[in-house]
Structure 1
Amino acid sequence: MKIYDVVILTDARYLEDSDTNAYKHNVFYEDLLVQNALKAEGLNVIRLAWDDSEFNWNSTKAVLFRTTWDYFNRFHEFSKWLKAVSKETLLLNSEYIIRWNIDKHYLLDLKKKGIHITESHFIEPGTETNLSELHKQLNWQETVLKPCVSGGGRHTYKLNADNLTAHEAIFSELIKEEALMLQPFQHNIVSEGELSLMVFNGEYSHAVLKKAKSGDFRVQDDFGGSVHIYTPTEAEIDFAIKAVKACTELPIYARVDIFTDNEGLIALAELELIEPELWFRNELKAATVFAKHITLRLN
């Protein structure tokens, strides 16, 4: 049986490069940068879909979650696989931190440790309420609704008095099955954008600025958002590192998404510890730094 040092995890859609689809090419290219950097460290590396049924997961020292971007649409299947594979090999990041980070209730844990988060109201499955009642209760005029387990902008809606009624049906269906969160709409994300700071093993690496396209509020490139190289301030770097170190376990990699909130304060939007896009293509040397941290973790 061939033994590997690291398996880089993706999902089946991104196993092959594409000459015609820029999105797929970027996924493949960034994973390739990581793979080549790990090989340069002398590691034996392979890239596979996380649901590869033929691979023997105890034949690798570690698996690195990179672009497993279908997990939230197949969460039950992914959860079972995650439990099983965690008994076979080392997970980067760990099963514990992945499960903690999958559910956005983790934001409350960080808040308790002094990390300033987006003001958030959580609605648990089966709660008998509606959007109109929630907005009156919270006295929020413009909000964003999203699932607590999600990604890529799935079921993310901007709400106000003019469209609450139109979204009541989808809210009613979603809350039967999953927890949701409601947050005040953050105007600075539209005007200034959202920052993503990459932190490897507690050390700042690089950053990008994500901006929504005109007329939208979502910064993801899935919805036409753009990405720009960005040099963060010391305060922004300090915030990102503190957010990562507030985790009960230090992750090998993290993407810290921050913005200036409606009160003018640096706030945490998301702490991405599972499979975040890390924009190695914008900072090529970061893949080398990342690989060195992984090598140290394995030794």
Structure 2
Amino acid sequence: MKLFDVIILTQKDYISPKHIDTYVQNVLYEDELVQKALESLGLTVKRVAWDDSHFEWTSTQCVLFRATWDYFHRFSEFSQWLENVAKKTILLNSETIIRWNIDKHYLFDLHRKGVHVADTYFIEQGTTETLKELHKKLKWNETVLKPCISGGARHTYKLNSENIASHEALFKDLISNESMMLQPFQYNIVSKGEISMMVFNGTFTHAILKIAKSGDFRVQDDFGGSVHNYTPTPDEITFAENCVKACSELPIYARVDIFEDNNKKIALAELELIEPELWFRNYPEAATVLAKSIYKKLK
């Protein structure tokens, strides 16, 4: 008999933290909303760090990825752990879709299925082309460079003719270790922001608008970006739900980050299926929607 129905997966920094700032408080509060929603349905729940070597993963029916936000800094270790745990319990979302979603090459797969994504050029590990050569070939003047496996704007750089040369050495070092991606700079993200659409079991629940601070292009609150409640248009809702439906399997939760591209079309920035911040604090009712989806899957 399983001891737990659901394990809420986090990282060890958020298990009994000694210092609780606003950032950590948000993590704890949102996990609490999800845990209470699950427990209200009669499910047994526990929060566990993904790298807890003492926890027996066969003791739970499923694990729900929430704040495992250190995985891309420890990817080899995380990947091995993921393979091991997938043999012992149900992963939400599944190992298959997590591995697909970890690498931003998934954008190409969605594009082939008709999803409009930001123009993207993938630079494979080991390439010998320089940033200057790539920009000349692509005829892009202002771009954003970032890793294919990343999060929290890690190694994300805005490039133009004035600073490309100063990034060549860093790029050479990065591309020797991992694949990167280059995208035209999206001016409307700066002026209008980026919209995060939460979709549970294929159905939209709520959205927030992220706006970069003055003088920056990164909308993450880690870099001073601000977050606002947002009511999406019917077209934006349809777009977000269609992005999720284009996946090889229906994820139980997704965050669909969209924006208006340089041609004024709705475009997908990223589809987050691993451990996205889902902004339950802005719409607590969504925790109940997620909990009911999990309950149906288990029962």
TM-score by length of 1: 0.98
Question: Paired residue for 2:111?
Answer: 111
Q: Shift of residue 17 of structure 1?
A: 5.3
Distance 1:259 1:216 in 2: 16
The separation in 1 between residues aligned to 2:111 and 2:195, in whole angstroms, is 19
Question: Which whole-Å CA distance do the structure 1 matches of 2:291 and 2:136 have between them?
Answer: 50
Instruction: Work out the CA distance in 1 between the residues paired with 2:244 and 2:65.
Output: 17
Whole-angstrom distance in 2 between the partners of 1:172 and 1:20: 38
1:66 equivalent in structure 2 = 66
For structure 1, which segment, 163-172 or 10-19, has the greater mean C-alpha deviation from structure 2 after superposition? 10-19
Cα distance in 2 for partners of 1:154, 1:272 equals 15
Deviations 1:110-147 (A, max 9, x none): 00000000000000000111100000000001000000
Mark the runs of 5 or more structure 1 residues left unpaired by the alignment. none
The residue aligned with 1:224 is 224
Amino acid at match of 2:209: L
Confirm whether residue 55 of structure 1 aligns to residue 55 of structure 2: yes
2:54 is matched by which residue type in structure 1? E
Q: How does 1:244-263 map to 2 (within 5 A)?
A: 244-263=244-263
Q: Distance in 2 between matches of 1:140 and 1:197?
A: 29
Deviation of 1:16 after TM superposition, in Å, equals 2.7
The amino acid that maps onto 1:24 is V
- Asked whether 1:157 is paired with 2:139, we answer no
Structure 1 counterpart of 2:192: 192
Q: Do residues 146 (structure 1) and 146 (structure 2) align?
A: yes
Post-superposition CA distance 1:187-217 (Å, at most 9, x none): 0000000000000000111000001011100
Structure 1 residue 290: deviation in Å? Answer: 1.0
How many Å apart are 1:166 and its aligned residue? 0.8
- The answer to whether the aligner puts 1:38 opposite 2:17 as a matched pair is no
Corresponding position of 2:285: 285
Identity of aligned residues (%): 66
TM-score (norm 2): 0.98
The whole-number CA distance in structure 1 between the counterparts of 2:131 and 2:227 is 33
SS in 2 for 1:135: helix
Residue 18 of structure 1, CA deviation: 6.5
Distance change (3 Å), C-alpha of 1:292 and 1:230: same
Q: Output the CA distance in 2 between the equivalents of 1:121 and 1:242.
A: 23
SS of structure 2 residue aligned to 1:181: strand
**Is contact 1:18-1:24 (8 Å) kept?**
no
**Closer/same/farther in 2, CA of residues 172 and 231 from structure 1, 3 Å limit:** same
Please name the residue that 1:3 is paired with.
3
| Alignment correspondent of 1:26 | 26
Q: How many residues align?
A: 299
Deviations 1:248-299 (A, max 9, x none): 1000000000000000000000000000000000001111111111111112
Question: Structure 1 CA distance, aligned partners of 2:215 and 2:10?
Answer: 32
**Structure 1 match to 2:95:** 95
Between the aligned partners of 1:106 and 1:185, the Cα distance in structure 2 is 20
Q: Which amino acid aligns with 2:70?
A: D
* Aligned: 1:132 with 2:112: no
Deviations 1:16-47, CA, capped at 9 Å, x for gaps? 35675110111111111101111111100000
1:203 correspondence with 2:194: no
Partner AA of 2:16 in structure 1: E
Structure 1 segments of 4 or more deviating over 3 A? Answer: 17-20
CA–CA distance in structure 2, aligned partners of residues 132 and 23 of structure 1: 38
Q: Secondary structure at the match of 1:66?
A: strand
Q: Tell me if structure 2 keeps the 8 A contact 1:194–1:211.
A: yes
Cα-to-partner distance string for 1:209-232 (whole Å, 9 max, x where unaligned): 001011100011110111100000
Code of the aligned partner of 2:100: W
**1:155 match: secondary structure:** coil
3-state SS in 2 of match to 1:78: helix
The answer as to whether partners of 1:19 and 1:25 remain within 8 angstroms in 2 is: no
Q: Is the 8 A contact 1:211 1:225 kept in 2?
A: yes
